[in-house]
Chains A and B, each alone.
Chain A
């Protein structure tokens, strides 16, 4: 009998459970057949044997090859009844109007086969247009808004919300339920409140009146003061997410008018802004922008209209501050004292009564004195604006402008701006009333108070107590998802509307596409609930009868704007100032000072947060910090260094270097946010952007507002800073004392430009002062020609040395291209003086050229795809030529970021070099030169070696590391889903993985422009071709044209005294010319004169 002895090495082996019984008995199992393998669903995760793998490989390669041999049959479906105005393949442009409560612009919408795909400024009409150069401006938010139309998270039908779940309803059901609800509320004698943004539409105003007449017992004016609660009345409460109530209430005090003034910056020789970011977000920023830019070109300056001088006092380095001639960093708590001091200085200079005796010290005091002197010298041709949302300070500012005689010149309060009429006190009262159960019905249009209110939680509680709540939101956002009913409004591109943006001006909006979803314009809903079955289009047309003469409709619709006579207003009573009270009120806010102070601002991209779901805007780098996809704490480098005990180098943010996380506490609300160093930030202050952290409770506010984290959970982009705002003295305040602590934690931030200093390169950005420029000396004094030393005695001094230099352009490795004066030769000129760094060109380029969005993680790896970037350079006043310092010492001196740096913006796209370094290294000739001077990129030829990108001195080439049209990038890439794809420009290829791409000078537009000229049989003229960036630029900084046309503007710019090429000395001969920036700096001027 054979023994059954068992040998073991380890105790564990003796455990029968440990021994895999099956394999023990059947070590060499019969392999399963392919059929079994394929039919066994549980095997999907299993490993495939090498043999099977090869079989599959062979089969699939064979199958794919065979399949590839047959071209699939492509179907083509023409119109049955082709609309007369549509020609497939030809774009139609419609004039329309954009208004979202914050931005207003007359625009042109480009449609292809009935799909809107691009938005640009209306070059012929509108308040956002410069009448001199016919340039209609838009900003990044407006030209990106076209993507919002195709957001698949938009509501597709009206909804009933009950217990947090949404049920789709038919419009008839909504109308019935809301109608009955309103009747019940009226019968119960409770209030019906309509909460909207500032309404500037005559039709909407009219519809509201109709609605009020139907439901109200007593009407309330709504605008001027806190509403008296009247039972059964309809109150119309206007609410601006970003409040200007401080200015409006100051104007009510001074001029008896609750309004924001109309500004005219074209008349301002001296411009003083105290914390007002008027080029980016403050006031009617697009109007401000073109008006400001019109006074910034030194060539256009005359004796009567000199180049304007711009002072900026502010805590955070804002876009406007970056453009200022003199920028002074002040803490927000110092602003009342500063305004008061300025008031005193001007009062004593103009022989008026002073108010208060605020103390102001240091650089700010000096600056205020200098500033007052300049203002008085430019009496009647200057302007002082202040961003602080507080009545007392604004009354003082009004008084300053009155003393300077600016009313009627740079400020108009008679024909006041119709925008920004929101009343914070009314809103606060409304929230109280809602919680007290006094509001029977609340209808909300165009605003999102559950997100933007300082006391949003209170509002939400009140909303729950409101019997009938209806939202007209396009999304089930923070507010809408808590209302009982959602009656979704059309997207603006699907809407009819009219607006009265200025006295005598009527702008029309027309739909450029049939509504994508089962939505209804909110005005029409109001009419319906007032018992009127009027079509909104008809209604707008009827109302237009009151604003424009009969028969003007068609032409106005074509133009987008009807300009009627400006009705002269009756003279207003003389302004009255209670300076003592204003001063006291203003100084009261100085108590907000703390060891640390916080300022809450709106970013260039997202504004109040209504654009948070737009991936183009999320990926648009902040003009100053160059950060994307996050909000963060802006802090002065010294402060962060002191706080964390780390050197600047250790605080560097890059792909592998995350940002430090700071804990900021305001009013007992603490949040942890990453810190980004922002040179120029006032000491001991921080700034955080509003508008982030949308959809924090899982609301579906749009795809890009939230991102999937590693675990697949949707988390908002950034954090919501609105809880840090507070209502004090009837206005929302955006500054507060804070505590700032380190946490020791880090957080990755995606910057597109790093913060290290770019040293000792003088041929990238060039800058001079107005004083130097206006000496009319040869251009070498401020725009030096780059030279290179040669081994020849070119200066004939008998020896060959470093002084023998010739212009860099004369030395060349290559034979010249035969393009000079031959055929067409396209070029671009960028005026660094006009460029304010806003980024409208970047998003316009995204929209025109189907540029992929890549998301935060990829941006962090420097893989953003933008064809056009705006480089931001800081400049310090370090004197690197001091003799005392050694060479190394000078360099380390330069490494220290200046506390008060100058900032200069430089848009950089492919420079279309005539002698392009990229072309010579491409192994497959995928990038070649055209006879029209352009450097062509042929995607279908590119094999992705990336040699060209390595050899490009401007780093403008972008590589497709992935197929960005995949699930992986689904949250961010607009081209991902069926709906989002509709925004793509059919005239530009969507690039795939492994392909290099870059700016093409909008080749599709060049081809189209040439074709139009050929068909018309005339030579190509200036303006026949506009690139996306040049047409979007609100300040006309970018000019495009034919260099071989000797009469063209581009030729004059290139040959002009300020023109230079970037990195001229390396001999690439770019076709992009930059114009030297001229800053109107007083100090330098004196220095030069001396």
Chain B
């Protein structure tokens, strides 16, 4: 363990070094301005722009320089259409050279715009350094103890077998000395049977243990039927009609699109929803080529929505995409995404796993069994006291004000937190009705 930790440290040092050396230029970078720019950029621009390459909108690196002496970049960013109308030639030129995609007016200050452009001009991807640093922290399979056990077991078996051989030889030597015929050379099975016959008590114990063991195995097996996620079974990972890559779209180091940009109903409906193809088209009207699959997969969206990339127009012929559903709950369960996302403020990854970093093809990460739900409800704390949500404030007021409520509250707080379970999260009819 010690050695492992030190390797981790070494890697970190190495990464730090790399970071420094690779970005030597950035010694003069105004880190505060850069960070502000990054923040504003991600909040407002990232869905259409990238600092270092063109996306729906043009690349932002060098944008400031390109506007030098040609007009007011601040006005352009704040309301591009108005600025075009004001008659600026450069604005018109950019607009027309980028497929006439209208950039909506932005509520950003001049300082914000300067920060964004500063960030874009000085942009350096963190990816390379991070990847190196991240490698050692990846979980190693914890199989060493098992390996040891197996090796020890095999050694013991070897010892046992050789001891048995030695014993037989010794017995035969004794019998030979006594003038008796050597023991009949029984098969292994025959010997086991003879041992069992001679040691009925032990034999029944062994049989009983085996029955118990097989029953437990069967029981465990049965529990895994129909379960396609979690630690014990292979995750359900159906093929999909379009090779949509979540790591590319949602990955922090890639496009980093917010989950709810596409799965928009997660915050107000029971289902998070598979995004309709028109949501894809928000970006893919322009992005016709992907980094991995080229034009092939994106062409499928065009086929579904009836988009003609040549003419840049819809033909009106639509064909729905038939996805394979990954997360399936039984019909008698009512799960609400809105409750968990909008009210509970739970990260999508908590249940869906590292969709953004690992799942080029989406798989069912969690088992979605009832015990899995209940376990989380048992552990998750609900901020009732001091909540800024009026609903929970009222719940807390009632708990704190009456004698019976106070008694309940004391009971709730035995583990120093109020959990979902204590507010009724273990009740049948919360999900089954």
Contacts and interface: CB of A to CB of B under 8 A. Distances in A.
Interface in A926-967: 926, 928, 930-932, 934, 936-941
B100 to A, nearest CB: 21
A889 interface: no
A939 B429 CA distance: 10
A324 to B, nearest CB: 40
Given A82-B278, A821-B405, A1015-B338, A74 B328 contact: yes
B404 A820 contact: yes
Nearest to B395: A823
B269 A74 contact: no
A1007 B319 CA distance: 36
B334 interface: yes
Given A78-B277, A88-B273, A823 B228 contact: no
Contact of A931 (B274, B338, B427): B427
B36 interface: no
Contacts of A1017: 388-391
A1004 B389 CA distance: 22
B270 A89 contact: yes
A823 B430 CA distance: 15
Contact of B391 (A818, A989, A1019): A1019
Contact of B320 (A80, A87, A1044): A80
Contact of A1018 (B331, B390, B424): B390
A177 interface: no
Nearest to B343: A1014
Between A987, A1014, A1020, the greatest number of chain B beta carbons within 10 A of the residue's beta carbon is seen for A1014
A68 interface: yes
Nearest to A1018: B390
A74 B398 contact: no
A764 B424 CA distance: 32
A78 B325 CA distance: 11
A1011 B334 CA distance: 13
Nearest to B228: A71
Contacts of B318: 80-81
Interface in A144-163: none
B346 to A, nearest CB: 14
Interface string B196-231: 000000000000000000000000000001101000
Contact of B336 (A818, A931, A1011): A1011
A1089 interface: no
B405 A822 contact: yes
Contacts of A89: 265, 269-271, 273
A114 to B, nearest CB: 14
B271 A88 contact: yes
Given A78-B321, A1000-B429, A1011-B338, A1019 B273 contact: no
Given A989-B433, A1000-B429, A1015 B342 contact: yes
Contact of B432 (A818, A989, A1011, A1019): A989
A75 interface: yes
Contact of B433 (A77, A1003, A1016): A1003
Contacts of A68: 225-226
A821 B406 CA distance: 10
A79 interface: yes
Given A818-B408, A822-B398, A932-B424, A1015 B268 contact: yes
A492 B433 CA distance: 31
Between A81, A88, A926, A987, the greatest number of chain B beta carbons within 10 A of the residue's beta carbon is seen for A81
Contact of A1007 (B271, B334, B393, B407): B334
Nearest to B407: A818
A1011 B343 contact: yes
A57 B269 CA distance: 45
B334 A80 contact: no
B427 A78 contact: no
A965 to B, nearest CB: 13
A258 B250 CA distance: 71
A989 B432 CA distance: 8
B131 to A, nearest CB: 34
A78 B324 contact: no
Contacts of B405: 821-822
Contacts of A938: 428-429, 432
Contacts, number: 170
B35 interface: no
Contacts of B392: 1014
B67 interface: no
Contacts of B265: 87-90
Contact of A822 (B238, B278, B408, B430): B408
B226 A71 contact: yes
A69 interface: yes
A82 B393 CA distance: 37
Contacts of A934: 429
A1015 B392 CA distance: 11
A162 B276 CA distance: 48
A440 to B, nearest CB: 45
A746 to B, nearest CB: 43
Interface in B382-433: 388-395, 398-399, 401-402, 404-405, 407-408, 423-424, 427-430, 432-433
B275 interface: yes
Interface in A88-119: 88-90
A505 to B, nearest CB: 35
A218 interface: no
Nearest to B269: A89
Interface in B322-349: 322-325, 328, 330-332, 334, 336, 338-339, 342-343
Contact of B324 (A74, A926, A1016): A74
B351 interface: no
Nearest to A822: B405
A1013 interface: yes
B341 to A, nearest CB: 10
A1014 B382 CA distance: 13
A1010 B339 CA distance: 10
B305 interface: yes
Contacts of A928: 427-428
A790 interface: no
A820 B406 CA distance: 12
A81 B398 contact: no
Given A90-B269, A821-B398, A1044-B398, A73 B238 contact: yes
B343 to A, nearest CB: 5
A165 interface: no
Contacts of B398: 821-823, 1044
Closest 10 CB pairs of A and B: A936-B429, A1019-B394, A89-B269, A82-B276, A1003-B433, A79-B276, A938-B428, A821-B402, A89-B270, A76-B325
Interface of B: 225-226, 228, 236, 238, 264-265, 268-271, 273-279, 304-305, 318-325, 328, 330-332, 334, 336, 338-339, 342-343, 388-395, 398-399, 401-402, 404-405, 407-408, 423-424, 427-430, 432-433
Given A78-B274, A79-B278, A89-B273, 10 more contacts: A78-B275, A820-B404, A823-B424, A931-B424, A937-B429, A938-B428, A1004-B334, A1007-B430, A1015-B268, A1015-B342
30 contacts: A77-B320, A78-B274, A78-B323, A79-B276, A82-B278, A87-B264, A88-B271, A90-B268, A90-B269, A823-B395, A823-B424, A930-B428, A931-B427, A936-B427, A941-B428, A987-B334, A987-B433, A988-B433, A989-B432, A1003-B433, A1007-B433, A1010-B391, A1011-B338, A1011-B339, A1011-B343, A1014-B339, A1014-B391, A1017-B389, A1019-B393, A1020-B394
